[in-house]
Amino acid sequence: MRIAPRWIGMLAALAVLLSGAARAELASHRAVYRMTQETTRAGGDIAGADGELMLEFIDACEGWTLEQRIALTIVGVDGGEIESVTTFTSWESKDGERYRFEQNTRHDGVSIEELSGRAALTATGGGRATLTKPEAMNIPLPPGAMFPADHTALLMASAEAGKRFVVRTVFDGTTVDNPNRVSAFIGASRALPSLTVEDAEVRVWPIRLAFYSMTKREPDPDVEIGLLMQADGVARAVQLDYGTFTMRGELTEYESLTPIDC
């Protein structure tokens, strides 16, 4: 059984999107999501998967740090089984101009994919990403490109302002075919019980993200991610839709963390 790199990248991109909003009130936190199979459609090579997504997001003075780990048991249509673990770490400056990232995927304890590098945007627009793994590579970033935490900030500000559709170019460093054109559909908010304050409520918005390669011409997205997001960037539920396979993530553990003392 072969797991497509883009499917692996989608899992890392999910954790990056859960990292919080760079220009909003952040919740430095640790969250754990139980990932389970939701639907399986004909034409794919994956029959089922379940596991866990863990992430830690911390306000670190001039930037934000993200550490995440996704551990899944993946079953192929041929009956084969793989224990897949993907780790992703990143740092993004609060001015939205600098970004560092590193990703590693292991199947049954054997490393199958590594990706690392850094990226920078200029005040006049555009920039460049430089990969060091899997090989040295320079990737131009077009004017208007954003890094993921800054993009999340824009989405949450748009949600609070009542906007329903946002399209931006985003570089997250989870695949070598970055950046992506990301179309976001934002639904009406509703109230849920607060995770930290007893007898209080918070507003959450359903957000559907469609990822398109910059060179893609087909109308269907490469992948889609669904989120139920608080204004502080904490996701109460997630969904991964890769066309032939869908997974759902349920928040099972949440811990508020103390930002780093600057």
**Closest to 229 in 3D by CA, of 219, 239, 220:** 239
pLDDT for the residue 245: 77
Decide: helix, strand or coil at residue 12. helix
pLDDT for the residue 19: 54
Give the whole-angstrom CA distance, residue 180 versus residue 171: 6
The mean of the pLDDT values for the chain is 85
Q: Can you give the pTM of this predicted structure?
A: 0.85
Q: Which segments of the chain have a pLDDT < 70?
A: 1-26, 42-44, 216
How many other CB atoms sit within 10 Å of the CB of residue 91?
A: 17
pLDDT for the residue 95: 87
Give the whole-angstrom CA distance, residue 6 versus residue 71: 16
Write the pLDDT tens digit of every residue in 118-157: 999 987 778 999 999 999 999 999 999 999 888 888 888 8
